[in-house]
Chain A
């Protein structure tokens, strides 16, 4: 950072992982004063206590409306706070809303200092979303694998097949029915439970 003091940044996010990812990015970029608020009770009071220059909040957070009230009761805050991004910056606001994050900036902070922070938010939020997607996919793959194992076991027992034969049968049926192997395996489990 330049000679200017690092702005004080508050992250309001109920997801500790996402907040950590964002905080790490901000620290790497040289921002040193970062406070993470997870608890939504008395949000405004806590923000006043920190007295930040910038507030970042995730859009899944209903407390965003609480922050909006700050503009209306500016006499309660030391410095008035204005919603980030004026009319000319519609592309930044679009990118941030799509990424799921919104920023509130205290009046007086220079615009060129805000842009890199918001860009960082957008990339980190998108990275988090991707991470979550991958996690979901891995989870469902794992789940599939368990189901396939169980279905193989049933086929081996009922039809006297080897493990390899059971798998080949599952796979060829899936191909013939144009379904996922996991779906075929699930229907075998369901059927065998019904026939118990």
Chain B
């Protein structure tokens, strides 16, 4: 009998496949004994994975890439054989900012270009009035939330480093910070957006799927050397996660899945709130307005679990765009090598699917081509990168 695997996670709904794999017995059915360890910060998850206190982890996709590139911390190559979630974030704004945006908006309220342009006008007015810049909360410098907020506002010419303030906040502090005016808006994963709406202190302005139709969010991460040494364990983990994801995506299992996730030692919030995220039907305003989306959070459907290296290249391009790293051919290669569809296919004993994965569907800019990141970035006016 080997020691149980220690796997770290942050209490968020996109850890669903991992948590259900363990708590519903899919991991045990693969012969794996797993101890899930709840963590409080992405820095902790990253460090404990890097130094071997964790065998695997629920990790922000950009943190996995940054770790392989040695950005912001010690360089430890990471392999991601399973994609834990596509999309799942939302942008929530305070009632005051919501009112200001709705006053300025010219067009569809759910069109991200229309809201970004409205934001640009609000920002300009505030500057003229000598008001403090608006403050946006996000979870980590290397986070999808950071890049999604930036991508959205920059499309209308709002410079995220000059025109507004972006601050890092731990997800459990987001709601309080919005309530006490420390931030005017935030971008975070479930369940925090719904909690802000339920408390009457926030409006969900956008599902991230409005901004990018398909964006890799969290991955199941292991150290690359560990993956090389333990190919069978990696394959078993992937199969357990795939089965858990299938279970969660089955509509009739959603209530049970939400109850598993709601346990105090897991996510620890009301099961009903979690279920809203899984079904993609969210209350977006304190007045009770609901909005439904077929792509709010993909846990396993539409091939969500299979890592797509093009997604890794896109995240790398965002790091370049915002000055976190410089563009190099090696950098692109290293980033793409983090996402391992080969390990996913091997675990399932399948050939790579004939069809390419669905593209990003970004609301602004040209289609993304990992072979021409320079050309892609040149199409955007706002950015911090040096050619």
Contacts and interface: CB of A to CB of B under 8 A. Distances in A.
Contacts of A93: 47, 51, 74
Contacts of B170: 62-63, 65-66
Contacts of A83: 72-74
B207 to A, nearest CB: 24
27 contacts: A41-B182, A44-B167, A59-B44, A61-B40, A61-B41, A62-B40, A63-B170, A63-B173, A64-B41, A64-B43, A64-B44, A65-B41, A65-B42, A65-B43, A66-B170, A68-B42, A68-B141, A68-B168, A69-B141, A83-B72, A83-B73, A86-B74, A87-B74, A87-B75, A93-B74, A94-B51, A97-B53
For chain B, the bracket of interface size reads 20 to 34
Interface in B52-85: 52-53, 72-75
B74 A65 contact: no
Contacts of B255: none
A83 B42 CA distance: 15
B141 A71 contact: yes
B41 A97 contact: no
B41 A90 contact: no
A90 B74 CA distance: 9
Nearest to A63: B170
A133 interface: no
Interface of B: 40-44, 47-48, 51-53, 72-75, 139-141, 167-170, 172-173, 182, 324
Given A40-B173, A72-B72, A72-B141, 16 more contacts: A41-B182, A59-B40, A59-B44, A61-B40, A62-B40, A62-B170, A62-B172, A62-B173, A63-B170, A64-B40, A65-B140, A65-B170, A66-B168, A66-B169, A86-B74, A102-B47
A33 to B, nearest CB: 25
A98 interface: yes
Contacts of B167: 44, 66, 69
A156 interface: no
A42 B177 CA distance: 10
Interface of A: 40-42, 44, 59-69, 71-72, 83, 85-87, 90, 93-94, 97-98, 102
A59 B47 CA distance: 10
Among B41, B42, B73, B182, max chain A CB count under 10 A is at: B41
Nearest to B70: A87
Nearest to A66: B168
A94 B47 CA distance: 9
Contacts of B140: 65, 68-69
Nearest to A83: B73
A67 B141 CA distance: 10
Given A72-B324, A85-B74, A65 B182 contact: no
A64 B167 CA distance: 13
Contacts of B40: 59-62, 64
Given A42-B182, A93-B47, A102-B43, A68 B172 contact: no
A71 B72 contact: yes
A63 B53 CA distance: 21
Contacts of B51: 90, 93-94, 97
A46 to B, nearest CB: 13
Contacts of B141: 68-69, 71-72
Contact of A98 (B43, B53, B139): B53
Contact of B48 (A42, A68, A97): A97
Contacts of B43: 64-65, 67-68, 102
B191 to A, nearest CB: 16
Given A59-B44, A102-B43, A65 B72 contact: no
A42 B40 CA distance: 18
